[in-house]
Amino acid sequence: MQLLDYVATYPDAVIRFKRSDMILYIHSDAAYLVLPKARSRIAGYYFLSNNVRDGEDPPLNGAVLVECKKLDPVASSSAESETGGLYNNAQNGVPMQNDLEFLDHPQPDDGTPLVTDNASSHGLLTKLMKPKRAKAWDMRYHWLEDRIQQKQFKLIWRKGIENLADYFTKHHHPAVHQKMRYKYLQRINAMIDQQWPSIRKQLPHTRLARVCYKRQLQLASNLAAYMASYLPITQDSAFPLLS
C-alpha cells in the first residue's frame, strides 16, 4: 500500500547519477533488536563520488547498491550488530573494488571509505578501544580489523544524521520519508520547474505558448529518463534541453 501511495504521489521520481571520480563510498548502519526473535536489521548504501580530503564529505550521488537485510546471528550488543553490518557491507564492497580497479578507476591508497555511526564499533576496529568478552563475534571482528590494517578499507565515524544507510534500517513516519527523500531520489519535472523562470523569459508572451512548451519539456525529459534506463549514458547527458 505504501508503494502504491508513493508511485501515485511521485510518478516521475528518478535516481540521478552525476559524473565523478568513481571513488566507492560505503555507508553502513544497523538497528539493534528490531526484528522478531531478537534479530537486528543491517543496511548499506553504496555510491560513487569524487575523491575528497580527510574530513570532507563527498558530493551525493545516485546509489549503485542499497542493501537492507536481517542479521541472522543474534547480536549481544548494539556494537556487535553494527560490526556485523560493517562486515557484510565490506564483503560486498570487495568485488566492487576489484571491478573499479579493473576498469582503470584507482581507489584511495588509504582504503575505501567505510562509514559507521557507532563509536564503539569504530573504536574497537581501529584499535582505539580494547575489546573484552568479544568471543561471540571474533570472526567478523578480526576479518574487518585485518582489512582496515591492510588499508583496503578506511573506517570513518559520522553522526547518524550523516549516515546514508541509517534511513533504511528503521520504520519512519511519512513526514520523515518526505523530508529525507531528496537525498535518494529526484523528480524529473522538478528540475524543469527550477529552471522554468529563466526559460519563460525567452518565450512569446502568450499563456498557451508557455504551457505547450513546458509540457514538451516534461515529455522530453520523461522520454530521456526512459531511454537512460536502457542506454549506457549518464543522466546528466540525458537532459540536453535543461543544460
Amino acid symbol at 118: N
Half-sphere CA count of 74, side-chain side, radius 13 A: 4
Task: Return phi, psi of residue 74, to 5°.
Answer: -75, 120
CA distance 45 to 27: 5
Digitized pLDDT (tens) for each residue of the chain, 243 residues in all: 456 666 666 677 778 888 899 999 999 999 998 888 888 999 999 999 999 888 788 988 889 999 989 988 888 888 888 998 999 999 999 999 999 999 999 999 999 999 999 898 888 888 787 776 555 566 777 888 888 888 899 998 888 778 888 877 777 777 776 777 767 776 655 555 555 566 555 555 555 455 555 566 565 555 555 444 444 434 443 333 333
C-alpha grid cell, residue 185: 531520489
DSSP state of 29: E
Note if the pTM is more than 0.75. Answer: no
What's the CATH code, domain 11-183?
3.30.420.10
Q: State the residue for C-alpha cell 528490531.
A: 34
CA distance 13 to 220: 15
C-alpha grid cell, residue 86: 560493517
Residue 38 — left, alpha, or beta (φ > 0 → left; ψ -120 to 50 → alpha)?
Answer: left
C-alpha grid cell, residue 226: 526512459
pLDDT in tens, 39-52: 899 999 999 999 98
> Which residue ranges make up each domain of the chain?
11-183, 188-242
CA distance 135 to 228: 49
